[in-house]
Each structure stands twice: as C-alpha cells, then as structure tokens.
Amino acid sequence: MTETFVPKHPLAHEKEPIGIESLKISIPEEEADLTKRAEKLIRFGDKGDLTFESRHIEEFNVQAPAWSRLASIGKISGLKLGPAERPHKSATIEFEVLADDETLIRTYPGSTTYFGTGTNGHTLQASLRGGIQIVMYLPNEIDDNGRDSSFSITHSPVGLPSSDAQIGLRFTEDMNSAFQVRVTLNGDHLTSFVPNFHPSHEVTDESRTYTRNLIEDLAVIENKLGVVFSVPESISLRERLEVRIARLLLDGKVIFHPFIESFNGTLASDVEPETIEQLETGVSFLVDNYDLKMRILNRKVSLGPARFHASHALAEDFASLTEAIGRDSSEGIPFKMKTAPGKGVKVFLFSRLRSTDTDLVVTPWGLPGVSEHHELKGTTPPPPTPLS
C-alpha cells in the first residue's frame, strides 16, 4: 500500500499531524550486527536504509487523521527505515595531527560526502586524499577527548598514484599512534581525540593484502624519476623484485642483480696468451651501461648510467674459442662470460652511488618470500623503511 499526503492548507501539520506515535522493536541477541546498524541509523542518522521484519516489530502505532487508512493500519509485515533525504553541501574537513604540546605535525585535508542527523547525534562521512574514506558518529555532546564519538577509517589504495597512496599509509599510521588528532569543519573545531586511548575507532588498511612496502618503493621511484606509478591490484614476485631493485638503485645502493648472470662479447683479432688463460680459469670484469633501462609495472623507464661488476666469470664453450684463436680467426667470434657458481653480478648507478661507498658493499633485497642471492645467504634483510 502506498499513500501520499499533500497538505491542503498551511496549518495541515498542526491540525492533522501525521507521524509514528510509538514504535517498539526487539532484536534477538544473535543478530548483534542488526542491533548495531539500527543504533547508528536511529541515533546518528547513518546513511542507508534498514528493513525490519514483522518478527522484530512488537509495537507500531501511527498518528494520522481518522479518514486515512494509516489510522487503522493494524499489524505490518515489515518496516523500512532510512535517514531523511536532504541535499548535501560539501564542506572542507581537515584532520590535524598534533604533538603533546599541540604543535602541528601534519594535516590531512578532504571534503565531506554525507551528513545525517539522528535522535542523539550526527553521522559525518568524508573523503581524504590517499584513498581514505571516513565515517564519524558524533553525539550531540562530546567530551574533550572525543571518547563519546566513534569513527571508522578505510584505506583503499588500488589504482591511486603511489605518492597519494603513501599519504593514505601515513594517515592510517597516525590514526593508530598520534598523541592527539584535531578535526575541523570549514575551519571550525569539530572534535578532538587521542587515537591510542580511543575505545571506538577502527582502521581498515586494505594495502596489507599485498604489501605496504610496495607502495613506499613505488613512491620513491615516482619521486626520483617523475613518472607516476599506480598501485596495482596484484603483482607477481618477479615484478615485485623489479620494483624493489629499482628503488634500491635509485637510493644509491649496490645490489646483486637477480636476473643477470652472463655477458656477451666478441673476440679481437690479436688475442693475448694471458687472455686465453683468463677465459679458462675465470676473470673479474666490469661492464658499463650508459643508460640502464628497466620495465617497472609495464612502464619502460631509464635509471641512468650503471656499472656491472662480476668478481669471477668463466667463458662458455672454451674449447671452440681456443680453436678459433689457434687458427688466427678469432676476430668477431662471439663469446659469453658467465658468473662462476655461487657468484653474482653487482650493479649500481654512477650518479646515485654515495662517494663513501667505495667498497661496493651490497644491500640485500629484503623482500619477504624472496630468497637473497647466493652470496648473501644468511644475511639479515634490512628492516622496513619507516614512513617519513
């Protein structure tokens, strides 16, 4: 049954008011989620609708004119409740992270997306840069520490530029550890709270489903190269390792390259005897690449001039090489130098290497689930880089 009421005169709401006179709803203990949802909708005007079945409704009386069918509605089969529809005008919201002396540390601006009113308070929803969605439940009276309020924060970084997603990471860290957070709405103080002592806040960080450090690595690469990398929904181990080694190289580190173990070359016409001996017993060699290119998440980028170094490499198919040299027909003959078993190829970027790193000390890759290079077996990976 649908009945639409249209006022016929200005005093209709006074002469013949229409509304719910009494409503009693009973929800079993095993339906705790429904109880929680009903409380937020009725007390705070939460967004969305809620439907109660007839078994939940113990009492329902309507105040309506005698001529209306609502006056004798009787038992109902269900009841759908929702906040009053009203246009929302977006407002500027800002989360301010404060030190213990109220010095401003960081700010996170955004805008509201919903504002609702219930019997005991309000619901405020907002969106912040970095993939942050916030829902706040604010009672009409809030104590100085905001303990009577509650809020939930969701971080959804997939598809965002990594630098934006990193802001979202920092926000979730602050919401779990900051000394005090102050919230303003259009520049006016709204509420303040202490995250560590707030009993009713929930932070959901979806970035943990693949790796928070991935976002940090991509953000470093994005910042140093000026190329935007969106946070992927999924990533293979090889792609993840490529991202990590690119970040380490751009940070000025020396690493073992995970995918290079040999180099190709061609023989000259006048091969010296000691060269033949070196090809057989092994040799240390350097190879310079004047524009090292890598593919990172399907984007080909240039990292700049690089040097590769192998401490011990052997020539493959040595017999064929010595035969060609013996016939004095070695010029232009291709050959391959491959690292000796257990040895690796170091690589670093000329323009990024620190002047103090003259010993070329190798930094481990430090990725969970990825074994380090043979020469670094047993090396403790470095701790995760803290958010700055």
Residue 251: pLDDT over 90:
yes
383 within some domain: no
Q: How confident is the model at residue 23 (pLDDT cuts 50, 70, 90)?
A: confident
What is 135-166 written as a DSSP string? EEEEESS--TT-TT-EEEEEE--TTSBHHHHH
**Cα distance between residue 337 and residue 316, in whole Å:** 6
Residue 86: pLDDT over 90:
no
Q: How confident is the model at residue 159 (pLDDT cuts 50, 70, 90)?
A: very high
Instruction: Choose the final residue of a domain: 81, 112, 140.
Output: 81
216 within some domain: no
**Cα distance between residue 162 and residue 318, in whole Å:** 48
pLDDT of the residue at 76: 74
Same structural domain, 97 and 198: yes
Same structural domain, 61 and 159: no
Same structural domain, 368 and 270: yes
386 within some domain: no
Same structural domain, 242 and 338: yes
Same structural domain, 76 and 134: no
pLDDT of the residue at 382: 47
2 within some domain: no
Instruction: Choose the final residue of a domain: 21, 47, 81.
Output: 81
Same structural domain, 330 and 243: yes
Average pLDDT over all residues of the chain:
80
382 within some domain: no
Residues 29-76 have pLDDT tens digits of 888 888 888 888 888 888 888 888 888 888 877 777 777 766 666 677
Same structural domain, 173 and 299: no
Q: Which domain holds residue 22?
A: 12-81
Q: Which two tokens stand for residue 111?
A: 């805008």
Collapse the DSSP code of 131 into the 3-class scheme (helix H, G, I; strand E, B; otherwise coil) and give the result.
coil
Q: Which conformational region is residue 369 in: left (phi greater than 0), alpha (psi within -120 to 50 degrees), or beta?
A: left
Lowest model confidence (mean pLDDT) among 84-98, 118-132, 291-305: 84-98
Same structural domain, 103 and 178: yes
Same structural domain, 135 and 196: yes
384 within some domain: no
Average pLDDT over residues 153-175: 90
- If 0-12 CB within 10 Å is exposed, 13-18 middle and 19+ buried, where does residue 293 land? exposed
Tokens 């050959």 sit on residue: 335
pLDDT of the residue at 364: 92
**Cα distance between residue 112 and residue 133, in whole Å:** 10
Instruction: Choose the final residue of a domain: 49, 81, 113.
Output: 81
327 within some domain: yes
Residues 275-320 have pLDDT tens digits of 666 666 777 788 888 899 999 998 999 999 999 988 888 777 777 7
Same structural domain, 76 and 100: no
369 within some domain: yes
Same structural domain, 46 and 111: no
Same structural domain, 284 and 191: no
> How many folded domains does the chain comprise?
3
Residue 384: pLDDT over 60:
no
Distance of CA 235 to the CA centre of its chain: 14
Lowest model confidence (mean pLDDT) among 143-152, 171-180, 332-341, 343-352: 143-152
